[in-house]
A and B are shown apart, each in its own frame.
Chain A
Amino acid sequence: EALVINDPDFQHEDLNFLSRSQRYEQAIRKSALMVMKLREYGIADPEEIYWFKSFVHRGRPEPLDLHLGMFLPTLLTQATPEQQDRFFMPAWNLEIIGTYAQTEMGHGTHLRGLETTATYDPATQEFILNSPTVTSIKWWPGGLGKTSNHAIVLAQLYTQGQCKGLHAFIVPIRQLGTHEPLPGITVGDIGPKFGFDEMDNGYLKMDNFRIPRENMLMKYAQVEPDGTYVKPLSDKLTYGTMVFIRSLIVGDSARSLSRACTIAIRYSAVRHQSELKPGEPEPQILDYQTQQYKLFPLLAAAYAFHFVGAYIKDTYRRISGDINEGDLSELPELHALTAGLKAFTSWTASAGIEECRMACGGHGYSRCITFTPSCTYEGENTVMMLQTARFLVKSYTQVSSGQRVTGMVSYLNDLSMQRIQPQHVAGRTVTVRINDPVSLVEAYKARAARLVEAAAKNLQAELNHRKSKEDAWNRTSVDLVRASEAHCHYVTVKLFTAKLSEISNAAVRAVMTELCLLYALYGINKNTGDFLQVGILTHAQITQVNQHVKELLAIIRPNAVALVDSFDFHDFHLGSVLGRYDGNVYENMFEWAKKSPLNKTEVHESFHKHLKPMQAKL
């Protein structure tokens, strides 16, 4: 961290004042420099690289992200040893800069719908790559527009006249040396976006572009010289990279929400507004209950997601160890877990970031705030939720047929037992104690169980009505998404609660318990319908929950600034005038504004061009 902050090479003008071309240039400059420095300091550990990278780019995406995050890992996991010899070292040394071209203009999350084709020609032992329609143009890959000279392209493989589904190919796109696009390749930048200004997201169109047979990544599936297709052992392995990326996004959601909370809470302690008591000076806006109600639940969520992220990372490490040894039994649950939690946390985080922005009033609207833009990449969230739902329904069906399920869904086992004792609901209501996190986990568990059951039953009812499975699924999808959300919410509360007992410092455990309670109770407060409708909680308990939420706000208030300071974001990394550690907000906003391009000259040129002539004429 200090290495970057103290290095004058990494300083530059505020990005907000630069055009997109300039921002791209700065990002490339820093990336190039970063790679040199990493080598110079001998940093090779992935975790350390990650931190170094996030400090160089202040947590913003950069053109080499896909090279480091997708191109190199995909080579490692999907290339044969021969292919690694050919490509890996040049890529590691950045003679080859690569990207990962999957998404097409007309096709996103539904991979099987991709239209790009790779047709094998046994005569020359080459694949012929084509973008047959406008909708098949590769669209969005980062670093593709201007930076990369190679891409891993996902395309439908055709050999011996048959389609064999999606496969990955290493495709050179720009001439080494001149960096000009190769003949048959059309490549460029997709234009301005909402955020991500420094990234050259690109398009790629291929017209009868030929690559040698050896450029198909063949660790699993293979095409032999005569065109014979050899099937991989498991189809699921190709999804491994995506699952990995999704698990990282959960951690990123926690971080961006923490950043936004840091900015909004510090600013709310500096800003004074109106009066609470007549005659007294204007109070800090953080003293208003409405402001606390906006920000503290988000602070609690930021901590909750932090623990969820750590859990997924550990689980992923553990399971991926098993995968290399060929044990795939936990893959379905991992897939279901990352998909749903990715959607759940990024939804909450991006809504939370907007809430933080709004909580800063007018100044939240200025670019000097730099809240990270929210993102829907790596799988549209609704689709993610439905993947989780598919797993939940499957588990429910297993339970109904008498099998037991394990892992996070094991609560579904209880459902079958409850059916034997129909009095369960009334029995449970009294047992929920609203100031005990463990008891609240039970309430969330009951809610998830009941929504999964309801969705599964509605699905069954639809199935009985009409023939088509797909229609029934579609007509139940709103219920299914609710069930998934409830499941993810339960998992989050459960993991947060589980974390509490691991904290040894008593003061830290006390404040974390308050946050955990706030997180759980606020979730009930926002979803009272789910808890009331089937009697998990009574009306009286809901009133108590609402009251307890407000009490917790007042309890957390004195620790609020300390809780965001604990995230330990350096000012340099926050990049926000409102969120400064020293709280000198107004002085610095003024200094910042003076640098705006419109202020470069005291009299703007439009005065001479337009204003003056108009005044003369009228």
Chain B
Amino acid sequence: VNPDLAGERQTASFSVEKLTAQLDGGAEHTRIRRAVVEAIECDPVFSREDQYFQSQNERYEAAVRKAVHLQKKMHEMGWTESGPEFKYIYRALSGDVAFLLHRIFMRSISVLGSDKQVAKWIPLATQFRLIGSYAQTELGHGTYLQGLETTAVFDTTTQEFILNTPKISAMKWWPGDMGRSATHTVAFAQLYIHEKCYGVHPFIVQIRSLQDHSLCPGIIAGDIGPKMNFEHIDNGYLMLQNVRVPRENMLNKFCEVQPDGTYVRRGSQKINYFTMTTVRISLISDEVIIPLMKACTIAIRYSVVRRQSKLKPGEQEAKILDYQTQQEKLLPPLAATYAFHFINDYLQELFNRGYQEIQRKNFDMLPELHAFSSGFKAMVTQYCTSAVEICLRACGGHGYSLLSGLPSLYTKILASCIYEGENTILLLQTARFLIKCFMAASAGQPVPPSVTYLAAVKPGKCPAKNKLDFLCPDIYTEAYQHMAVRLVSSTAAKLQDLVQSGVKKHDAWNQCTVQLAQAAKAHCHYITVKNFAETVEKLETKAGIQKIMKHLCDLFALHGMFSNAGVFLHDGYVSGAQMDMVTASYLDLLAVIRKDAVPLVDAFDFTDKSLNSALGSYDGQVYQRLYEWAQKSPTNKQMSPAYERYLKPLLHNTLSKL
């Protein structure tokens, strides 16, 4: 181990192992997770060693090979989809596996299909007799579902739906596993019966032959070309030309087209709606928080190995993490990983509770859950994406090498801001909920528990008298609450003013959207700070864990105030002098947390293979590894034809040609 890194570990103020167990939700979970990771990483089929050098074709092939091998592995190890090991498999593979949409295909059939349809399709899918995909997004239409243009016209004479892509913007675009792998897909299309449109419905469509995998008649499908990441996934396009599917292929748990063309709606779709919102929450942990944890691990370990310039004359060059500016880049993201880890736990619990209520046919919690899932998905993905980018830049030139692992973490997390709902649109959905609740609260009506604070508007001023007061959670939580209330209430007032002055409602809404999005973010930020502070209260005081978590919580809150000073100062709740105290306390905390930075990332417990980074490995042998890995680059193995073809003539003959 690099001595610079080893030294960092000796001074930890807390037990790393205890904190790891805390993050996993108990030592038993840590044990299971490590066993799964171990089993997967020791299997050469799952190796990611050459990943950075592979072409799109090679990455795709490897992902398919891994997906197939995984079935065998699970059988061998006795892991099942309902077992405790399952959730760790994806993490152990770092998502580098095909057929993820196959799962969404199965889930959508289970949720939207009748018992009969489930009985027919799910066994086929489980045994991989077919490979499924999920085709919703079109070239010209994304988050706004009603705008989809694919059509499904019911033909009573043959009892079939005729599916068509009427124009180029209606082509299905982006669905994973569809470019090359899938044999079937759930396609969303506007249903027409007797020339009347009934809106968007899901249909099971076969797209490739089960014998030789060639495209079915009327189907045009292929890969959408290279993207910033996900080279291993064959995101695809799909064009349908008079493709006929039997009447039974429309997923019909909630609505059915009868043989004579009568359209029948049944049951409540609310539970289905709920399932879709849970997808947003479920991606937060694997796709967003874990990549940020990895990026922090790489950047912080590298920052104690890298030395640059001198802090004091005559001394060795200093570790870059000893520079205040480097701490300011890396430590707030580190605090954020913990803040978001805890808010994720909170949301999971809330959604489990919601699920039980909904099964009892109590739908009261739905609007609140929907607002939670939209707002937090947007806030967490946005924050973590910027934070990963900061980590990348904080590693200077070497961060830009793919071998650092940071570029692929960044390009991957960047996608999370877009899929499952574009972030701005999601924030506005949360804002709509907040405005509604604020109006209700002002009128004295009851509102959901997470927003009762909107009713309790206290004007007042921040009571802090010196910089230490800002290390008191009540002080900063109150400040966040005040700020959120102010932003929600002032935007609500603005909306009302506009409407009263004769502006149409939707125009008024569009004129306030910048403020509305800001208010939604402020609400989520407040809840995150509050939850972090409450979680710290409940942590065990042993092994130094509560103490270090308290520091991180303070840092997360004060960094937020420091970097959004204007919104706290705006109405004078926090004064200019108090803002100087916030800054002072914030900067002091950087120096305190600096000492535990390496143990704090060690606690995330990523193996070197899972980080797959020349800069971030546990032993800190950064430069040797970078040099060794570079030599593996294919550009160094093959003699480039460029020399013989172009350089040589250039070097030897140009003079005579000039």
Contact = CB atoms under 8 A, between A and B. Distances in A.
Interface of A: 16-17, 19-21, 24-25, 28-29, 32, 35-36, 39, 93-95, 97, 103, 105-110, 113, 134-135, 137, 139-140, 145-147, 149, 176-177, 179, 188-196, 200, 203, 271-278, 282, 287-291, 293-294, 354, 357-358, 361-362, 364-368, 375-377, 380-383, 386, 468, 470-471, 474-478, 481, 527-535, 539, 542, 546, 550, 586-587, 589-590, 592-599, 602-607, 609-615, 618
B226 interface: yes
B629 A191 contact: yes
Contacts of B512: 289
A293 B514 contact: yes
B168 A361 contact: no
A95 B655 contact: yes
Contacts of B623: 105-106, 134-135, 137
SS class of chain A's interface: helix, strand, loop or mixed?
A: helix
Given A192-B402, A477-B323, A596-B224, A274 B633 contact: no
B363 interface: no
Contact of B654 (A93, A375, A594): A93
B266 interface: no
23 contacts: A25-B641, A29-B642, A97-B647, A107-B308, A108-B396, A189-B636, A191-B53, A191-B632, A192-B53, A194-B392, A196-B400, A203-B627, A273-B142, A274-B147, A282-B144, A287-B510, A361-B418, A366-B227, A375-B400, A478-B328, A586-B171, A598-B223, A606-B61
Interface in B56-73: 56-57, 60-61, 64-65, 68, 71
B640 A25 contact: yes
Nearest to B392: A194
A290 B428 CA distance: 10
B308 A194 contact: no
Given A597-B56, A607-B213, A105 B324 contact: no
A290 B515 CA distance: 9
Interface range, B side: 35 or more
Interface of B: 52-53, 55-57, 60-61, 64-65, 68, 71, 127-129, 131, 137, 139-144, 147, 168-169, 171, 173-174, 179-181, 212-215, 222-228, 234, 237, 306-313, 317, 322-326, 328-329, 389, 392-393, 396-403, 406-407, 410-411, 414-415, 417-419, 422-425, 428, 504, 506-507, 510-515, 517, 564-572, 576, 579-580, 587, 623-624, 626-627, 629-636, 638, 640-643, 645-652, 654-655, 657-658
A593 B222 contact: yes
B508 to A, nearest CB: 11
Contacts of A95: 651-652, 654-655
A193 B400 contact: yes
Q: Lowest 7 CB-CB distances: which A-B pairs, in order?
A: A529-B565, A528-B566, A194-B407, A598-B223, A191-B633, A596-B225, A367-B226
A294 B427 CA distance: 15
A290 B312 contact: no
Given A289-B513, A477-B323, A606-B65, A146 B642 contact: yes
Contact of A288 (B142, B212, B510, B631): B510
SS class of chain B's interface: helix, strand, loop or mixed?
A: helix
A189 B566 contact: no
Most buried by B among A29, A475, A531, A610: A610
A454 to B, nearest CB: 9
Given A25-B645, A273-B143, A382-B326, 12 more contacts: A274-B143, A365-B414, A366-B226, A366-B228, A376-B397, A477-B324, A528-B569, A529-B566, A539-B571, A596-B56, A607-B181, A610-B61
Contacts of A19: 55
B640 A21 contact: yes
Nearest to A95: B651
Nearest to A29: B646
B430 to A, nearest CB: 14
Contact of B635 (A20, A137, A149, A365): A20
Contact of B228 (A35, A193, A365, A586): A365
Contacts of B226: 16-17, 366-367, 596
Contact of A191 (B401, B564, B657): B401
A276 B57 contact: no
Given A192-B402, A377-B397, A478 B633 contact: no
Most buried by B among A20, A358, A368, A531: A358
Contacts of B643: 146, 179
Most buried by B among A103, A203, A290: A290
Given A191-B635, A274-B147, A528-B565, A598 B307 contact: no
Contacts of A603: 212-214
Nearest to A371: B228
A580 to B, nearest CB: 14
Contacts of A93: 654-655, 658
A604 B233 CA distance: 13
A612 B579 CA distance: 65
Contacts of A597: 55-57
Most buried by A among B53, B137, B397: B397
B90 to A, nearest CB: 19
Given A362-B174, A609-B61, A615-B128, A193 B323 contact: no
A610 B64 contact: yes
A188 B580 CA distance: 51
Given A471-B312, A477-B325, A365 B418 contact: yes
A611 B633 contact: no
Nearest to B494: A547
A35 B213 contact: no
A176 B650 CA distance: 12
A289 B223 CA distance: 34
B128 A590 contact: no
Most buried by A among B52, B64, B572: B64
Contacts of B181: 604, 606-607, 611
A362 B225 contact: no
Contact of A586 (B168, B635, B636, B654): B168
A176 B648 CA distance: 9
Contacts of A382: 325-326, 329
B649 A134 contact: no
Contacts of A145: 635-636
A474 B214 CA distance: 65
Nearest to A359: B424
Given A193-B401, A276-B510, A598-B223, A147 B179 contact: no
Contact of B646 (A28, A103, A531): A28
A179 B648 contact: yes
B627 A594 contact: no
A203 B403 CA distance: 14
A7 B202 CA distance: 50
Most buried by B among A288, A475, A476, A598: A598
A161 to B, nearest CB: 20
B57 A598 contact: yes
Contact of A376 (B127, B400, B417, B571): B400
B402 A532 contact: no
A594 B570 CA distance: 53
Contacts of B317: 110, 113
Contacts of A532: 565-566, 569-570, 576
Given A290-B424, A611-B68, A594 B642 contact: no
A192 B234 contact: no
Nearest to B328: A478
Most buried by B among A149, A278, A589: A589
Given A273-B144, A602-B215, A606-B60, A542 B128 contact: no
Contacts of A592: 225
B169 A192 contact: no
B324 A474 contact: yes
A204 to B, nearest CB: 12
B648 A534 contact: no
A442 to B, nearest CB: 19
A145 B637 CA distance: 12
B139 A32 contact: no
